[in-house]
Amino acid sequence: MSTKTGVETVDPVREERAGKVREVGSQAIWSLSSCKPGFGVDQLRDDCMDTYWQSDGQLPHLVNIQFRRKTTVHDICIFTDYKLDESYTPSRISIRAGTNFNDLQEVEVIDLNEPTGWVLIPIKDIHEKPIRTFMIQIAVISNHQNGRDTHMRQIKIHSPMECRGIGIEESGNFVTVECQQYSCIR
């Protein structure tokens, strides 16, 4: 487990289009520790930055993401907007992983300082490889200005794209014109 303060800001859609990762959140069952009516999982996953999940209760606030099969998780992207949400914006987040609620282990703790936009949280094991897990839990430990409830506008879970083909480079270098004309597919 490590604590990070300088969290990277990215555009997760660009990463998906580039073929580096794929969004796997739609393959999971999502649940929340609490929510105000009309501000739940549907708003958290609707790809609209104007809607949000709003918790309703005591800290920590939990987002539980359970996969049907063991899934490789490369990173988690969370969209927050301090300018709009102020004291509702998370300032400390814990990421936990495991097979179920009973064996969750903390894998990352992130401190956020007035975040606006997408925050990318890499999820890696002790060997610096993406983790394989059945369950991810995102716990909001504290909010800015000691706020009680929290707002999260979007969450995306990314899995790395696996390359299954054989690269042409592995076959050797094509040096003749006759061979080079077949070195790529158009």
pLDDT above 70 (res 185): no
* Cβ-proximal residues to 170 (8 Å cutoff; 6+ apart), any chain: none
* Ranges 89-98, 121-130, 131-140: which has the least confidence: 121-130
Amino acid residing at 175 = V
Rounded distance, CA 68 to CA 27, Å? 7
Write out pLDDT tens, residues 33-91.
Answer: 999 999 999 999 999 999 999 999 999 999 999 999 999 999 999 999 999 999 999 99
Q: Convert the pLDDT of each residue in 145-170 to its tens digit.
A: 999 999 999 999 999 987 555 555 55
The count of other CB atoms within 10 Å of the CB of residue 117 is 15
Six-digit token string for 17:
């289009």
Two structure tokens written together for 11: 């555009």
CB atoms within 10 A of CB 90: 27
Averaged pLDDT for residues 110-138: 95
Strand residue runs (E) in 125-166: 131-143, 151-152, 154-160
122 preceded by a cis bond (ω within 30 of 0) = no
pLDDT attached to residue 165: 53
The pLDDT of residue 115 is 95
184: confidence class by pLDDT, cuts 50, 70, 90: low
CA distance 21 to 77: 12
Tokens coding 13: 């859609």
